[in-house]
Structure 1
């Protein structure tokens, strides 16, 4: 079943894909084996970040991820996870690691999912179309079950999958990521273009970036690129760039003994007043307030 067929499938049949199309794939992957380009696939996916941190793009959501985070992603929801090089190099080895679990929505069969007993799992699957970040004790429990699944037999994997889906469905410990109005109809060429822009931004956010240079990467005029990027991510390119710069500033504020002025310059700002203004727009507090709040929380 391709993306267009899935997108046009009636709600009554969306989770009734034949059992013979189903399967469970789970494995621990190192950074070099992870698909870090912006992509989508027909399977649902649960991603447990075992080691590493960085920035993720999920539908029209962009944000930071770190060790211990768990994400539930619905079918055909575009996503990518970009691990920070500073994290990968600090021990002299590649330590970005994730446990990735994939399964088709029809793994249980339509009769099972359409039953009254499993309505909570059906709702979970529908919510997953927006992407969900698990929180609190739930994320720890699901991460433990996924670790157990890596070495489990096929039958044991199915049992563990049902267990973790039941826990996620019965627990409200999750945050929806992509907006309700987001359309996940993204073509293969679009995936390639967005991935190229994402990688370029992550590698160059500390430098001056012009709209012309980014548009040239995907062989578009600046005007066409602006329309393209916003139609696929529901935000302007410079809004995305600002978020990337601010999230990296957050990391530097918490990890390094640098001044706000130094961090501002490292994240692509030549004017500290402009940096403070944009930081507050994204984080709802100044850089100094953000750092103070973190240390106060860590000490309590």
Structure 2
């Protein structure tokens, strides 16, 4: 079965994506999927199965696993216990190549990240020792999250307490031309969502006709390109609302919408409420 390419939306003004999930607010299943981002996953407790590429591995009391991008895998979490917690940390290749390279002191961390191509599964002792650090993410701001992540990477880079799922692994073998093409589309949207995203322009960049592009995108994502872009923009709108006191009009334009009525309809479609109601709840302190 071919893996579906998952679009990872790294938030505004951040270089990493960190999501925490409980049994009440669990990670929505992505099924068998692939994405170019590196992924560090902490599961507090419970049992499950790691399905990564051609390998399967059982775990019985939570798991801490680190894998490079472009390795097909299924979801890692479970719902055995009501107090379970899953923390999913994802970052792009440029986090390593453009940001971490500026600090020669982080040599061990950079080596650890390179080893993640073999998929690293850390032993139970280290998993337990780092539980407090992973639980902290939910309370931290963006700066705190980055510092906490670097602290975790520093700790695990100094340990040999892990097993590798693969002796060697060539990630490009899983990146078909279709997956590479879809990655180009996602990156194009990520860089240009505030502009007018004309299907004619992006399809031309990929060497497709507009009709072929639309069929290709629907086949690969089970969504139309328009719906994908609208949902992406609404997620950006949430980030802008939550990080500033920007007005609805300001956020609308920053996200690439030009029609207030259309923006309001799309916001309600994906968030279940209007932008105005969302902001009223925010200022009343009703949003978590």
Cα distance change of structure 1 residues 259 and 269 upon mapping to structure 2, 3 Å threshold: same
**Are positions 1:139 and 2:86 aligned together?**
yes
Asked which structure has the greater RCO (Cα within 8 Å, sep 6+), the reply is 1
2:265 to 277, 281, 289: 277
CA contact (8 A) 2:9 2:17 kept: no
CA contact (8 A) 1:60 1:235 kept: no
Q: What is the CA–CA distance in structure 2 between the aligned matches of 1:297 and 1:158, rounded to whole Å?
A: 45
**Are positions 1:129 and 2:74 aligned together?**
yes
Give the CA deviation at 1:77: 2.1
1:217 to 189, 205, 208: 205
**Aligned equivalent of 2:182:** 194
> Displaced runs of 4+ in structure 1, greater than 6 A?
71-76, 133-137
Cα distance change of structure 1 residues 188 and 76 upon mapping to structure 2, 3 Å threshold: farther
CA contact (8 A) 1:230 1:236 kept: yes
Give the CA deviation at 1:229: 0.6
Q: What is the CA–CA distance in structure 1 between the aligned matches of 2:31 and 2:264, rounded to whole Å?
A: 38
**Aligned equivalent of 2:19:** 69
TM-score (norm 2): 0.52
**Aligned equivalent of 2:156:** 149
TM-score (norm 1): 0.50
Q: Structure 2: any 5+ residue segments left out of the alignment?
A: 22-26, 42-49, 64-72, 88-130, 136-151, 166-173
Q: How many equivalent residue pairs?
A: 191
Q: What is the CA–CA distance in structure 1 between the aligned matches of 2:271 and 2:9, rounded to whole Å?
A: 12
What's the RMSD between the two structures over aligned residues? 4.6
Q: What is the CA–CA distance in structure 1 between the aligned matches of 2:246 and 2:177, rounded to whole Å?
A: 41
CA contact (8 A) 2:7 2:35 kept: no
Which has a greater percent of helix?
Answer: 1
Q: Structure 1: any 5+ residue segments left out of the alignment?
A: 1-6, 9-39, 41-57, 82-97, 122-127, 162-185
